[in-house]
Each structure stands twice: as structure tokens, then as C-alpha cells.
Amino acid sequence: MSAPPEPALPLRIGPRLALLLSLGAAVGQMFGLVLLLGLGVPLAPGLIGMSALIGYGAIFGLLAPRLGESPATTLGLVPPPRGYRLAVLLLLPSVVLVSEIDNWTAGLFPLPEGAENAGGGTAPRSWAYQLALVQIVVLPMVHELFFRGLLQPRLVASLGARRGVIAMAALDALASSLAVLNPRLAAPTAASAALLGFVRQTTGSVVPCLALHALTGTITLGAHFRIFGIGGFGDTSEAHTPLLWLLCAGVLTAAGIVRCRKLAPSKPAGGETPP
């Protein structure tokens, strides 16, 4: 896994500090949930978005003075290589594969009866607007800037490319599942985060990650409201997605991975050997 040259990191974060920061963000999000519920904010998708902004915003606020003169560059908000849009589009079907991982973990961590379809088509329109805002804007922004923007380059510098991306994905999964006390989120989040981390590592920019996360959030939203009619993907009448859909998604995702590798420079930073 290769990486384009990046500017010197003004803020050094090792694995232990990365773990503490991830746990701090998760606990901060939990605190935000409790605080907002105590203030009378109704239980709705917007509550998740606001609490995520509280938790991750607090961490960024603490670290802001140490991000250097150009926080945007430090967080990877730099122009991506030409051709990244095709890679993002090819990787978009990976959302079907991640959904199937969630299907397999459903047996281990079943949701309460009725929770699976909560809000699906019968909730107020404001509920749908909140869900769209959270899935397409808020969560992609906070997670990409924190995990792929802030933590990943520093973990890669400390552990190497492969182990750094794996560690980042594990921290993302841990924080996401802990923040809402839902262990079912861990496996699909880790898989999605690993793919996003690969994109970050090969393109040297968080911009493609933001685009891919927002687009997969859009597709997931459509699946939630059952507009695709794919068994096991939004359509909960089937436990698993048909093999043909999974094979097609796998082929396109593999093509996207190949495309990302072609975007990476031949001489990655730090002398890493591409896989």
C-alpha cells in the first residue's frame, strides 16, 4: 500500500494516543447524547449528528493549536490526483458488500423487534431529512477528518502503511460501536474504514474519502427506504443479498481498488514497498 509524499506532520500521534483520542471522541459523543436528551431533544437521527459534532468537535478543539499553520493540509484536505472520481464511482458498490457483513453480524447482535425498520416510510418527513443530513454530511465529515485525516497519516508514520491503516480501521470501528453502544456496527464499520483508509493512502487526500463516504451514505439511505428492491440490502424480507449482486459489487470494487493503486506514485513516502 503506497502513499504520496506528505508534508511534515506538526502533531505526532502514536498508537496509544490515537486509542485515547478515539475513546475520548466516543465518550464525548455518548455524553452529547445524554446531554441533549436531558435538554429535551427528541430521539431522532439529528440527535446522533449533533452528539457526533460534540464528541469529535471537542477533540479537534483540544488539538487545534497543535495542527500547524495549515490545518486543512494537515488533515489531508489537499487536491486529489486526477482520475479519482472514476475510482470513487467504481468503489461505490462496496456498500453492498459492507451491508452483507452487517447481515452476517445480525445473528450475533440482533436488534430489538421493530428497530430494523424504524422510520422506514412511516416517519415524519423531518425524520428523513435529518437522517439524510447525518448520513450524507455530518458523519462523513467528522469521521473522515478525524480517522483518515488526523489519525491515519500519523499511525502510518508510526506503524507503516498496512498496519497504520488496519489500526485506524479498528479505532474507527471501536469508536463507532461504543458511541451508540451497538457492537453490531464494529465489523461493517471496520471493513468500510479499511477501504476508505486504502483510498486515503493511495490518493494522499481526504477528498476522495469524503466523496465516497457521502455517496455510500446516500445509497444506504436509499436502501433504508427500500428504493432498490435488492434482497438483504434494505429489503429485510431476505436475510442475505443474492450472490449475483455480491459478485457484481465485488468485481466493481476490485476494479476501483486497481484504479486507486494506479493513482499512487511509484515511489511512496518513507520508502514503503507497495503491496
pLDDT tens-digit series, residues 197-243: 999 999 999 999 999 999 999 999 998 888 888 888 987 778 899 99
If pLDDT is split at 50, 70 and 90, which confidence band does 274 have? very low
5 inside domain = no
If pLDDT is split at 50, 70 and 90, which confidence band does 111 have? low
4 inside domain = no
Range of the domain at 206: 15-110+120-271
Report CA-CA distances (Å) from 6 to 73, 96, 204, 269.
9, 32, 7, 7
pLDDT of residue 266: 54
165 inside domain = yes
Q: Residue 77 above 80 pLDDT?
A: yes
* Most confident by average pLDDT, 39-53, 81-95, 115-129, 226-240: 81-95
Backbone angles phi, psi at 160, to 5 degrees: 100, 165
Residue 72: Cβ within 10 Å count: 12
Residue 154, helix vs strand vs coil: helix
Closest C-alpha to 178, from 191, 194, 164, 189 = 189
Q: Quick one: CA dihedral 132, 133, 136, 138, positive or negative?
A: negative
If pLDDT is split at 50, 70 and 90, which confidence band does 247 have? very high
Contact 269, 164 (CB under 8 A): no
If pLDDT is split at 50, 70 and 90, which confidence band does 272 have? very low
Q: Quick one: CA dihedral 204, 210, 211, 216, positive or negative?
A: positive
Total count of domains within the chain: 1
pLDDT of residue 209: 98
Higher pLDDT, 44 or 275: 44
Report CA-CA distances (Å) from 194 to 8, 73, 191, 244.
24, 22, 5, 24
Residues 6+ apart with CB under 8 A from 118: none
Give the range among 6-10, 167-171, 218-222, 228-232 with minimum mean pLDDT.
6-10
pTM of the full predicted structure?
0.89
6 inside domain = no
Q: Residue 117 above 70 pLDDT?
A: no
Report CA-CA distances (Å) from 205 to 6, 23, 40, 84, 108.
9, 25, 39, 10, 36
CA distance 53 to 40: 18
Count of residues in the chain: 275
243 inside domain = yes
CA distance 54 to 195: 26
99 inside domain = yes
**Mean pLDDT rounded to a whole number for the chain:** 87
115 inside domain = no
pLDDT of residue 119: 47
pLDDT of residue 8: 57
167 inside domain = yes
Q: Residue 38 above 80 pLDDT?
A: yes
Backbone angles phi, psi at 231, to 5 degrees: -60, 135
If pLDDT is split at 50, 70 and 90, which confidence band does 11 have? confident
Task: Note the pLDDT tens digit of each residue in 144-157.
Answer: 999 999 999 999 99
If pLDDT is split at 50, 70 and 90, which confidence band does 76 have? very high
If pLDDT is split at 50, 70 and 90, which confidence band does 64 have? confident
If pLDDT is split at 50, 70 and 90, which confidence band does 192 have? very high
